[in-house]
């Protein structure tokens, strides 16, 4: 069990890099206000294939990604060898975090993911923004051809939101671009079959599987 916990800690360090690609969470806004909120303009995508790029504050440092989403699962792939598969199970989500460089798979449920200190979830992974849905937003008078610009109050964030799919196509933080979506298409394949195939290939290629839920169970041996 101690050995597996060490592996879990290694994955926690790896996952921290994902969070650096997402905008940090803002304070929850006053629920009594009638002002426009983030959840009014951005929704988690369904039956879409999206690709784009995250940008670091360091010049020239960027990370390309793609995410395919259906009603009950998603696959998000980064160009650095990391893939995350999410599967809805009852009222939770099971994640398979695949490190192709280390040939390892971390399986963890949403509650135990939080316990490891990682705070991404289905919404932040698929909608590409990690801010509370109650965050206040203001429409901006900035002409864009393919999206509408909004400012997130007290977060230093601007979003350009696509009106058709209700997802951000461009994200800026303190005047610097942090993410851009380059392609949005309808999902054109069986996502369940592809997700199952990814996990099967990992097993066939002798990836190390770590079941965090089992290892964090106080009754586990």
- What is the pTM for the complete model shown? 0.82
| pLDDT computed for residue 128 by the predictor | 82
> Which two tokens mark 101?
């460089």
Residue 29 predicted with pLDDT over 90: no
- 17 or 47: which carries more pLDDT confidence? 47
- What's the CA gap between 148 and 166, in Å, rounded? 10
Q: Which CATH class is domain 2-215?
A: mainly beta
Region of poorest pLDDT, from 11-20, 48-57, 66-75, 204-213 = 11-20
So where are the chain's domains? 2-215
Residue % of the chain over a pLDDT of 90:
64
Per-residue model confidence as pLDDT tens digits over 155-185: 899 999 998 999 999 999 998 899 999 999 9
Q: Which helix (H) or strand (E) holds 68?
A: strand 62-69
- What's the CA gap between 77 and 68, in Å, rounded? 9
| pLDDT computed for residue 218 by the predictor | 72
Residue 28 predicted with pLDDT over 80: no
Mean pLDDT to the nearest integer, 35-44: 92
Q: 191 CB contacts (<8 Å, ≥6 apart)?
A: 68, 69, 70, 73, 74, 75
Contact status, residue 14 vs residue 84, Cβ threshold 8 Å: no
First to last CA, the chain: 7
Contact status, residue 13 vs residue 19, Cβ threshold 8 Å: no
Mean pLDDT to the nearest integer, 15-19: 57
Of 73, 74, 53, the residue nearest 65 (C-alpha): 53
Residue 22 predicted with pLDDT over 90: no
Mean pLDDT to the nearest integer, 25-49: 71
Residue 108 predicted with pLDDT over 60: yes
- 64 or 19: which carries more pLDDT confidence? 64
> Which two tokens mark 81?
């060898």
3-state helix, strand, coil in the chain (%, to 5): 25, 35, 40
Residue 11 predicted with pLDDT over 70: no
Beta strand extents in 91-206 (DSSP E only): 92-99, 104-109, 137-139, 148-152, 157-161, 168-173, 176-186
| pLDDT computed for residue 31 by the predictor | 38
> Which two tokens mark 175?
């005047």
| pLDDT computed for residue 23 by the predictor | 42
Mean pLDDT to the nearest integer, 75-95: 96
Half-sphere exposure of 34 (CA within 13 A, CB side): 0
């Amino acid at each position: 069990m101690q050995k597996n916990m060490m592996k879990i800690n290694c994955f926690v360090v790896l996952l921290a890099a994902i969070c650096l690609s997402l905008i940090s969470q803002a304070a929850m806004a006053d629920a009594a206000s009638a002002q426009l909120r983030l959840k009014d303009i951005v929704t988690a995508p369904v039956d879409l294939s999206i690709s784009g790029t995250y940008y670091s504050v360091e010049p020239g440092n960027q990370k390309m990604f793609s995410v395919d989403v259906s009603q009950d699962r998603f696959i998000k792939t980064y160009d650095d060898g990391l893939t995350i598969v999410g599967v809805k199970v009852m009222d939770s989500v099971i994640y398979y975090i695949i490190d192709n460089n280390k040939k390892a798979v971390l399986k963890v449920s949403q509650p135990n993911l939080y316990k490891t200190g990682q705070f991404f979830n289905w919404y932040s992974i698929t909608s590409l923004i990690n801010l509370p849905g109650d965050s206040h937003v203001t429409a901006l008078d900035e002409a864009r051809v393919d999206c509408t610009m909004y400012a997130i109050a007290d977060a230093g964030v601007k979003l350009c939101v696509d009106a058709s799919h209700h997802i951000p196509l461009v994200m800026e933080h303190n005047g610097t671009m942090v993410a851009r979506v380059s392609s949005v298409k309808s999902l054109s394949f069986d996502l369940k079959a592809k997700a199952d195939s990814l996990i099967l290939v990992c097993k066939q290629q002798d990836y190390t599987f770590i079941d965090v839920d089992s290892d964090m169970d106080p009754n586990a041996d």
